[in-house]
Structure 1
Amino acid sequence: MRMLHTMLRVGDLDRSLLFYTEVLGMDLLRRKDYPSGRFTLAFVGYGDESDTTVLELTHNWDISHYELGSAYGHIALGVDDIYTTCAAIAAKGGKVVREPGPMKHGNTVIAFVEDPDGYKVELIQISAPG
């Protein structure tokens, strides 16, 4: 058994695809419209779905906004240089909502960015910056 994907509902698929591909550097792996159901699925990620967990963006055509609720936490991405990554994200118009630094009760260096729908994405320093 392995994890295949995580799904997020998005209000504007094109805006979300720009964020995940242009700002976070993911690849659009596949996209399909389902006219009879009035929705589109787009899968993005950093590798092929056959061996990498990916993100499914679901756009229901008649809904442009979702309430995120209090149960959602975040998606986490490991990065080699969190400071350079955050600067690049900000330069591309991404919203850094927590600047890089050690987590409150530990030494792990983290930051948070926010996608166009308000979903949080945690960046975690996976190696010593070089």
Structure 2
Amino acid sequence: MKFTFAHNNFNVIDLDKSLKFYEEALGLKEVRRKEAADGSFILVYLGDATTSYQLELTWLRDWEKDSYNLGDNEFHLAFETEDMEAAHAKHKEMGCICFENPAMGIYFINDPDGYWLEIVPAKRS
């Protein structure tokens, strides 16, 4: 028996704001969407047009709080980039860098709901 990664899910408060952020910050685009017949939820799957891996954003109509409890933000998704300098400059301009570790050559950005996303240099062989 073999298992492969399919997607991760983040619940979001403002779906449109999140979609705009993920496209601007990481180039992720909507690849499919599922809306509940009763309007109670919307699932939007984002892809990078390179891998089959997807990020599922879930909007829940009846969520009554203005945020999600993300604990200590000890979990995250990581994204590779070929151009760390340009990525860092873009994210700095967007004001979304939340933590930097220059010694490791990485940094983190946070999305509109506070999820942390790690930016790492692409592995070179």
Same fold (TM over 0.5): yes
- Matched-pair identity in %: 35
Which of 2, 5, 9 in structure 2 is aligned with 1:3? 5
Are 1:110 and 2:106 counterparts?
yes
Preserved contact between residue 11 and residue 117 of structure 1 (Cα < 8 Å)? yes
Q: How is 1:45-124 mapped onto 2 (pairs within 5 angstroms)?
A: 45-47=47-49, 52-63=52-63, 64-70=66-72, 72-91=74-93, 93-99=94-100, 101-103=102-104, 109-124=105-120
TM-score (ref. length: structure 1): 0.81
1:27 Cα offset (Å): 1.3
Offset of residue 23 of structure 1: 2.0
Contact 2:81-2:121 within 8 A present in 1 as well: yes
- Cα 1:73–1:28, aligned 2, differ >3 Å: closer, same or farther? same
- 1:45, 1:54 within 8 Å by CA — same for their partners in 2? yes
- Larger CA deviation: 13-22 vs 81-90: 81-90
Q: Do the aligned partners of residues 74 and 27 (structure 1) sit closer, same or farther apart at CA in structure 2, a change above 3 Å counting? A: same
Distance 1:102 1:24 in 2: 23
1:40 corresponds in structure 2 to 42
Give 1:100 shift: 5.9
Gaps of 5+ in 2: none
Q: What do you get for the CA RMSD once the two structures are aligned?
A: 2.1
Is the 2:10–2:58 Cα contact (8 Å) retained in structure 1? Answer: yes
SS in 2 for 1:52: coil
Letter in 1 for 2:115: Y
- Mark the runs of 5 or more structure 1 residues left unpaired by the alignment: 104-108
The count of aligned residue pairs is 120
Change (3 A) 1:58 1:86: same
Shift of 1:127: 4.7
Q: Does the aligned pair in 2 maintain the 1:81–1:127 contact within 8 Å?
A: no
Q: TM-score, normalised by structure 2?
A: 0.84
Which residue is 1:106 aligned to?
none
